[in-house]
Amino acid sequence: MNRLLDRLERMIRPVSVPQVTLGLIVLQILVFLMAQARRDLIGQLDLVPDNVLRGEIWRIFTFLIIPPIGNPICAAFFWEPRLKDTGVSRGTIYTC
């Protein structure tokens, strides 16, 4: 398993994004706050395959910013960054 992760890390290193976890957490908190004012927002961001096939391509990406369990505090626990232990490339692999 470690050899596979090492190979993936070498492949993804040129395109790895530093602070990707922090960015996802911030976006999830913003979506949570906006969803308090507009209840149908989460439904518009959710990944629904039939809607993607009908042309709503943004759903492929926006489902990542839906807060887990509807609580922004959970985002900090589910997306806990481990970049200090693993490095940026491997952290990007774990996040994806």
The pLDDT tens digits for 27-49 are: 888 988 898 898 888 888 888 99
Amino acid at 46: D
Residues 6+ apart with CB under 8 A from 72: 28, 29, 32, 33
Read off the pTM: 0.62
pLDDT in tens, 50-94: 999 999 998 998 888 888 765 556 655 555 555 455 565 555 555
What's the pLDDT score for residue 52?
92
DSSP the chain: -HHHHHHHHHHHGGG--TTHHHHHHHHHHHHHHHHHH-TTHHHHHS--HHHHHTT-TTHHHHGGGSPGGG-HHHHHHHT---HHHH-HHHHHHHH-
Model confidence at 14, in pLDDT bands (50, 70, 90)? confident
